[in-house]
Amino acid sequence: MESDCSKNPPIELLRAIEQFNAGEYYECHESLEDLWRGEPGKIRDLYKGILQIAVSVYHAKRSNRRGALRLISSGMELTRQFVPRCLGIDTGLVIEMAGRIKEELARLDPEQSLSPAFIPKIRLTR
């Protein structure tokens, strides 16, 4: 897996990161789903993990706390195996970010939505 992680990120992944960072979580989901479905190797777990985190944020912004909590946990679990970085993504920061979102979601009342202040950007390390 180390050799897979050291590769340059595919252009589709870079686009998905741009979408996430622009707050376009549904579009990010669509981009990552295409990558995830087309990837036969272990790296597909990274795509699926980030996809689930993006969908979690999408749900959280729409006050679907239950769905958001479920997806953020599974997304973190999938992404955690690629720490500290993979395909140029600071995956350690992604896990940290997702952990903060998860804590905030647990603190919120069910009808409250997630504040944008809890959604930092995905950072590339290259």
For the chain, list the domains and their CATH numbers: 2-118 (1.10.3450.10)
Closest CA to 123 of 87, 97, 90: 90
pLDDT in tens, 84-125: 999 999 999 999 999 999 999 999 887 778 888 888 799 998
Whole-angstrom Cα distance, residue 60 to residue 66?
9
Confidence category of residue 65, pLDDT binned at 50, 70, 90: confident
Contact 34, 19 (CB under 8 A): no
Angle at 30 between CA 27 and CA 34, to 5 degrees: 145
For the cut 80, the answer to whether the pLDDT of residue 15 exceeds it is yes
Cβ partners under 8 Å of residue 98, min gap 6: 53, 56, 72, 75, 76, 79
